[in-house]
Amino acid sequence: MKLSALLTGAALALGLATTASADAHSKTKVGFVFVGPVGDGGWTYEHDQGRLAVEKEFGDAVETVYVENVAEGPDSERVMTQMALDGAKLIFTTSFGYMDPTINVAKKFPDVKFEHATGYKRADNVSTYSARFYEGRAIQGHIAGNMTESNIIGYIGSYPIPEVIRGINSAYIHAKKVNPDVQFKIVWAYTWFDPAKEADAAKVLIEQGADVILQHTDSTAPQAAAQEAGNVITFGQASDMAQYAPKPRVSSIIDNWAPYYIARTKAVMDGTWTSTDTWDGIGPGMVGIGEISDAVPANVKEEALAMKDKIASGEYHPFTGPVKKQDGSDWLADGEVADDGTLAGMNFYVEGIEGTIPQ
């Protein structure tokens, strides 16, 4: 009896809550759920820059809120629910592991729009978005293949998911093109952000003879490890990491979420928001290439920039045949370009990479 009274009270309050937030329409509230700390200098930092850009663009018309260091799973579900209850109209959930929680919360709040980064589940009020980082990886591979002297390139992977595997393949293909003897050593860190683990991984790779370190994790720890080791070059990941330029950091992939976040926020304000799946690369500006430093020979830099322009214009696709899979079977015929479906779910290495993807 008491409990049912409580529940009707709850239902009532929920109804009140939704109407109350509808009234407070003068300011559009936008929520951000972050997987790391905003000061990570990488992934979350760039998302937070996007958030600040939204604030700057719309000024008093928006209010942004965020919660950082949110564990994937039930904790994230609670944080999203709380944001929706507090009247957020649009919520960006910026890690792959927030996928199911986002869908769950979206079901409960049909009037709130959700944007989930790097996932594949959509609903009427859930969009997904991601960036074609592999385009940047191609340029990294080109520079790395040219600059390595030991012919060993170390790669710090986060999780063996398609996004990361795509990056490895793209970098490898382009390193191999300019340097047939090149070899990739891959370490899986099983984390997006853990400076200690990342530093260890970098040190192990350097000890194994790698003089180029590519990372798909978010902290600057590998950069610091490379700097300490001396003759090793690295690339900034997610953020420019320019504090380590000109060496070890010779270039970087920069995630630029600001234009997308601004456009989506505007769509919510105008009431034109619809559920979409966005996958943008260098062309539309979602992926940026950080300045290539002077540590890179001029001709290599020139070639890299030319490749960047070609990718941006759509003239060149980093996955253009002939490419074989690791087991020797054909994947792309001569001149054939990989389709987005295969890329989105990529779970194989291309020919020449040693080792197996952890299963």
Partner 1 sequence: MFFGGLLFVALGKDPVAAIRTIFYEPLFGQYAFYYRPQLLVKGAPLVLIAIGLSLGFKAGIWNIGAEGQYIMGALFGAGVGLAFYPYEAWFVFPLMVAAGAFGGWIWAMIPAFLKVRFGTNEILVSLMLVYVAEQFLASMSLGLMKNPEGFGFPGSRNLQQYESAFNADLIEGSGMHWGVVAALIAVIFAYVLLSKHRLGFAIRVTGEAPRAARFSGVNPVRLVLFCMGMSGLLAGLAGMFEVSGPAGQVTIDFNVGYGFTAIIVAFLGRLHPVGILLAGGLMALTYIGGDIAQSQLGLPAAAIQVFQGMLLFFLLALDMLTHYRLRFGTAEVV
Q: Which residues bind partner 1 (CB under 8 A)?
A: 3, 6-7, 9-10, 13-14, 17, 31, 37-38, 65-75, 77-79, 81-83, 85-86, 96-97, 100, 104, 120, 159-162, 190, 344-347, 358-359
CB of 358 to partner 1, least distance (A): 6
* Strand 287-290, strand 249-255: pairing: antiparallel
For partner 1, the closer CB: 164 or 173:
164
CB 135 within 8 A of CB 320: no
242: DSSP letter = G
For partner 1, the closer CB: 297 or 358:
358
130: DSSP letter = E
Tell me which residue of 180, 149, 134, 139 sits closest to 302, measured CA to CA.
139
SS3 261: helix
Distance CA 333, CA 320 (A): 8
CB of 117 to partner 1, least distance (A): 13
Token pair belonging to 320 = 């253009």
CB of 190 to partner 1, least distance (A): 5
Distance CA 305, CA 300 (A): 9
CB 110 within 8 A of CB 139: no
CB of 90 to partner 1, least distance (A): 14
For partner 1, the closer CB: 85 or 204:
85
CB of 215 to partner 1, least distance (A): 18
**Cis preceding linkage at 322, omega within 30:** yes
For partner 1, the closer CB: 271 or 341:
341
Residue at token pair 């958030």: 51
For partner 1, the closer CB: 15 or 322:
15
For partner 1, the closer CB: 65 or 242:
65
CB of 119 to partner 1, least distance (A): 8
